[in-house]
Amino acid sequence: MLSPLLFYTPDSHLQSLDELWVDELLCLVSWNKFIEKLDHEWVGLILYATILLNANVAFLAILGVGNGQVGFSHSAAQQASYLSISMLFILHKY
């Protein structure tokens, strides 16, 4: 159900696993290549997440973004940036 929200990435990983799991046997060399590929993907995603986090923090540091608003009334851009930062921290825990 969530696959479209995740840009069909789970489907591609499931297809790769189906290709590895032939006759209910698993080849260690193929498995290691698959895990190595996933590891490289995660390293790339962590790099993008770090860049996004830095951009969000820099955006929130700009004084004119909030138009002088004080308290809990933030602009839509600030709320989106806070949401993005919180999602990065939530996903980082898992």
In a domain, 30, yes or no: yes
Q: What is the pLDDT of residue 65?
A: 59
Measured from the Cβ of residue 7, the count of other Cβ atoms closer than 10 Å reads 9
Collapsing DSSP to helix, strand or coil, 39 comes out as helix
Domain that holds residue 57: 9-93
In a domain, 55, yes or no: yes
The total domain count for the chain is 1
Query: What is the amino acid identity at position 32?
Result: N
**Does residue 3 form part of some domain?**
no
pLDDT digits (tens, 9 = 90+) for 47-88: 888 888 888 888 877 766 555 555 556 677 777 888 888 877
